[in-house]
């Protein structure tokens, strides 16, 4: 009898598909199979001799792509878990876990299209010193002139042969990108202070699975704690997986990891070329890499000899995927550590309420670093009451004065406003017309530079009208402010100061962010105006003042996480100030100076905020005191979406274990011309909720009325 294998395929429906397999094949190997008119690559997730599909309808595997399993049992277990928990097709989970070339059937061996970059020595070596090897000198000069790593074909006008590059690499002047080793004598291992050493000791003394919440104020040296442990793992011959938020994975971070550990380090993120990602993933799988530094999807990477998992800035919302499979990488990381029976560290200056709660319950060990490393003091925080003040461009006189003083002293200043563009409200003073998006329930944001009104939700844009489109009045006012307006005002106030604006309009590609951060780090830019892009993890030594232009934005948020996120954001931005010897100052502009949340923003007090917010969550039965799942539906009319959700909700009303909230229009009902509704389910019992979700998913997949919808199920939604 021909064996039958179950194959997870990258298709939107179904769990796995059965195929006859006339060839020898192992679990976790890739196979190529016919699927309708197409041929697809999938992963074998089960082997057997029986199928529910009648024998004459079973098709056969065309080709076995891996002689050895590409995904091991631990990875398959994790993917199975993720598929069940997040109500996603297994094949799509598998597709998320694999880098593109492997998804497309490429052999599981490294590809050779490496890019090359300078080493520290290469950056400072004059090409003339290689005069006797002119082609090496030319290649070195070309790399020095480039801002980024280059493939051999891009080095010099005609490209550079690999023998020349190899010679430069042998001299230690260049290296292949993303496969980083150091000579041991270049490794610097900082001496830990007592608080750091004690955290390391406690994590090290745990055996088997253990989860540690490393709750340390910004600048307390959490990263050095991770690296000390990762260094030890490397020495013991075990791998460390370090997850960081998307924007936290800078070349500086990679550099710091390798310099402080000396380990063979690979990075895994979406900014890599396909070949680099492929190679890095394989290096993790074979165990050739000691440390894997990756963003969200790296949580799925196979590890040959796992020893430690770290989730840095664990509160960061970029760990939750917002489309496709809506998994949370932090939660899966904990699950993986459990599977492997190894420690996992969740680090943050502003832990999520979930993690805070788990620590309070004793499920996670709570480790704290209460002070900044070295001489750095916590920043001083003060409020500026905006009530009754006129400041159309967003900067109060008091803030302008403070900024002036810090700039005068030669320090850097950061003005934080979490909105890009010039102004969020364009209003006719005569008739009250405002600029709205035609396709969304949203205002258009004016952008001065491009003289356009833009929708930040659907991308619609049109020119700024010269007069009111309704009444023809010329009295068009722009209310409120975004980064562009603050920048324009700053240009008037401090014309001689070098400014930099950091938001998604300015910095859309990875290289641009690098360049901008470098201008800040080098001290070239003195005044920085930016969005939350700046709030995370960056270390700017000369920054002494952080001005928060509008703390009120988050105070009125509707979402149940709005206050948590506001508190995290402000604490994180404030944490950029005064990280070295210069004392830091944070000035918060608000119309609500008495708001209890703002009163709690002083450094080291985040725990108090977290407790207050947790008490509120408990009272309202929101997570972590209950579990949520959000079913979203969108259609060309609101009624279509509502009807289906009502059908789905109907049998749940009256259930003892599940609260049904809605269905109701989504907070922004119309978006991109489609109508969006949602149904929120809440339960104290995860298993009950899971069972219902499985049933609902089946309904949505099979009901004829649901065919007119785009729908999704979001388990543990990050926002509603």
Which one of Zn ion, ligand ADP, none is in contact with 433 (Cβ closer than 5 to 8 A by kind)? Zn ion
Interaction with Zn ion in 457-496: which residues (CB under 5 A)?
Answer: 457-458, 460, 468, 470-471, 473
Candidates 115, 222, 264, 328; binder of ligand ADP (CB under 6 A) is: 222
Asked whether 332 and 82 are in contact (CB, 8 A), the reply is yes
The 3-state DSSP class for residue 435 equals coil
Cβ partners under 8 Å of residue 520, min gap 6: 412, 500, 528, 538, 540
Show contacts with ligand ADP in window 645-704 (CB under 6 A). Answer: none
Q: CB-wise, 440 or 516, nearer to Zn ion? A: 440
Tokens of 531: 């969005």
Q: Is 93 exposed, middle or buried (0-12, 13-18, 19+ CB in 10 A)?
A: buried
Site size for ligand ADP, by CB under 6 A? Answer: 15
Kindly tell me which residue out of 221, 343, 394, 663 binds ligand ADP, with binding defined by CB under 6 A.
Answer: 221
Give the angle 102-103-109 at the CA atoms, nearest 5°: 5
How far apart, in whole angstroms, are the C-alpha atoms of residue 271 and residue 277?
Answer: 9
Distance between CA atoms of 420 and 502, rounded to whole angstroms? 9
Instruction: Out of 10, 216, 351, 663, name the contact with ligand ADP by CB under 6 A.
Output: 216
Of 274, 514, 539, 701, the one binding ligand ADP by CB under 6 A: 539
Residues of this chain, 173-202, that bind ligand ADP according to CB under 6 A:
190-193, 196
Give SS3 for 186: helix
Task: Tell me the C-alpha to C-alpha distance, in Å, between residue 120 and each of 73, 98, 141, 174.
Answer: 40, 32, 14, 9
Positions 427 through 456 that interact with Zn ion (CB under 5 A):
428, 430-431, 433, 437, 439-440, 455
Q: Which of 87, 218, 352, 532 binds ligand ADP (CB under 6 A)?
A: 218
Pull the structure tokens for residue 236: 């013991």
Enumerate residues 533-552 that contact Zn ion by CB under 5 A. none
Three-class SS state of 20? strand
Burial class (CB in 10 A: 0-12, 13-18, 19+), 290: buried
Q: How many CB atoms lie within 10 A of CB 205?
A: 8
Give the shortest CB-245-to-ligand ADP separation in angstroms.
13
The β-bridge relationship of strands 4-8 and 38-48 is antiparallel
Mark the segment that binds Zn ion (CB under 5 A) among 231-239, 279-287, 312-320, 425-433. 425-433
Least CB distance from residue 418 to Zn ion, whole Å? 19
- For ligand ADP, the closer of residues 87 and 223 by Cβ is 223
Interface pattern 354-373 for ligand ADP (x via CB under 6 A)? -------------------x
Q: Is the Cβ of residue 178 or residue 220 nearer to ligand ADP in the bound state?
A: 220
CB of 561 to Zn ion, least distance (A): 24
Residue 241 has which token pair? 């997986």
Which range binds ligand ADP by CB under 6 A, 8-16, 215-223, 438-446, 610-618? 215-223
Strand order in the sheet with 658-671: 658-671, 674-683, 627-635, 710-715
Among 6, 45, 223, 589, binds ligand ADP (CB under 6 A): 223
Q: Is 333 a binder of Zn ion (CB under 5 A)?
A: no
Distance CA 152, CA 147 (A): 15
Please check whether residue 352 is in contact with residue 315, taking contact to mean a CB–CB distance below 8 angstroms.
Answer: yes
Least distance from Zn ion to the Cβ atom of residue 661, Å: 26
User: Residue with structure tokens 């240009």?
Assistant: 491
Binding residues for Zn(2+), by number, are: 428, 431, 437, 440, 455, 458, 468, 471
Binding site for Zn ion (CB under 5 A): 428, 430-431, 433, 437, 439-440, 455, 457-458, 460, 468, 470-471, 473
Binding site for ligand ADP (CB under 6 A): 190-193, 196, 216, 218-224, 373, 539
């Amino acid at each position: 009898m021909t064996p039958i294998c179950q194959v997870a395929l990258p298709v939107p429906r179904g769990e796995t598909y059965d195929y006859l397999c006339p060839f020898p094949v192992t679990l976790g190997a890739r196979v190529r199979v016919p699927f309708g008119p197409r041929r697809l690559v999938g992963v074998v997730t089960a082997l057997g001799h029986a199928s529910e599909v009648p024998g004459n309808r079973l098709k056969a595997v065309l080709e076995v792509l891996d002689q050895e399993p590409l995904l091991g049992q631990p990875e398959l277990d994790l993917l199975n878990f993720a598929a069940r928990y997040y109500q996603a097709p297994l094949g799509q989970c598998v597709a998320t876990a694999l880098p593109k070339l492997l998804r497309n059937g490429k052999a599981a061996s490294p590809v050779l299209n490496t890019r090359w970059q300078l080493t520290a020595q290469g950056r400072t070596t004059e090409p003339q010193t290689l005069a006797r090897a002119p082609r090496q000198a030319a290649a070195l000069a070309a790399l020095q002139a480039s801002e980024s790593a280059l493939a051999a074909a891009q080095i010099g006008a005609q490209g550079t042969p690999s023998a020349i590059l190899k010679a430069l690499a042998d001299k230690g002047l260049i290296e292949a990108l993303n496969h980083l080793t150091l000579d041991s004598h270049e490794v610097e291992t900082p001496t830990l202070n007592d608080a750091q050493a004690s955290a390391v000791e406690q994590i090290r003394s745990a055996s088997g699975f253990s989860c540690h919440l490393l709750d340390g104020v910004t600048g307390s040296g959490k990263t050095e704690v991770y690296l000390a442990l990762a260094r030890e793992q490397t020495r013991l011959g075990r791998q460390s997986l370090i997850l960081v938020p998307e924007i936290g994975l800078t070349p500086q971070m990679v550099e710091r990891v390798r310099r402080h550990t000396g380990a063979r380090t690979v990075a895994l993120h979406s900014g890599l070329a396909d070949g680099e990602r492929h190679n890095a993933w394989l290096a993790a799988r074979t165990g050739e890499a000691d440390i894997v530094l990756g963003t969200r999807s790296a949580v799925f990477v196979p590890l040959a000899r796992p020893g430690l998992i770290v989730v840095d800035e664990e509160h960061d919302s970029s760990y939750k995927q917002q489309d496709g499979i809506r998994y949370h990488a932090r939660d899966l990381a904990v699950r993986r550590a459990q599977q492997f029976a190894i420690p996992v560290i969740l680090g943050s200056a502003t832990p999520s309420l979930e993690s805070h709660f788990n620590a309070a319950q004793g499920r996670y060990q709570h480790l704290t670093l209460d002070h900044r490393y070295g001489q750095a003091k916590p920043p001083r925080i003060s409020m500026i009451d905006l009530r009754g003040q006129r400041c159309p461009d967003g900067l109060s006189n008091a803030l302008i004065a403070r900024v002036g003083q810090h700039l005068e002293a030669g320090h850097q200043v950061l003005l934080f406003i979490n909105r890009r563009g010039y102004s969020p409200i364009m209003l006719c003073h005569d008739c009250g017309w405002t600029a709205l998006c035609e396709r969304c329930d949203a205002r258009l944001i004016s952008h001065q530079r491009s003289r356009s009104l833009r929708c930040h939700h659907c991308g619609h844009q049109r020119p700024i009208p010269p007069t009111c489109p309704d009444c023809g009045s010329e009295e068009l006012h722009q209310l409120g402010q975004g980064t562009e307006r603050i920048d324009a005002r700053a240009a008037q106030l401090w014309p001689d100061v070098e400014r930099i604006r950091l938001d998604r309009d300015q910095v859309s590609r990875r290289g641009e962010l690098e360049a901008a951060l470098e201008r800040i780090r080098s001290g070239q830019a003195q005044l920085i105006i930016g969005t939350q892009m700046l709030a995370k993890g960056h270390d700017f030594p000369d920054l002494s003042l952080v001005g928060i232009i509008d703390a009120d934005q988050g105070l009125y948020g509707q979402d149940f996480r709005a206050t948590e996120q506001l508190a995290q954001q402000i604490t994180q931005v404030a944490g950029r100030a005064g990280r070295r010897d210069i004392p830091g100052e944070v000035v918060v502009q608000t119309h609500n100076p008495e708001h209890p949340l703002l009163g709690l923003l002083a450094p080291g007090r985040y725990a108090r905020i977290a407790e207050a917010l947790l008490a509120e969550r408990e009272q309202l039965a929101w997570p972590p005191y209950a579990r949520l799942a959000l079913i979203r539906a969108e259609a060309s009319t609101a009624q279509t979406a509502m009807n289906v959700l009502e059908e789905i909700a109907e049998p749940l009303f009256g259930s003892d274990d599940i609260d049904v909230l809605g269905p109701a229009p989504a907070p922004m009902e119309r978006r991109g011309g489609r109508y969006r509704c949602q149904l929120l389910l809440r339960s104290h019992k995860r298993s009950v909720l899971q069972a219902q979700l499985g049933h609902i998913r089946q309904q949505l997949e099979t009901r004829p009325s649901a065919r007119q919808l785009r729908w999704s199920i979001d388990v543990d939604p990050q926002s509603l």
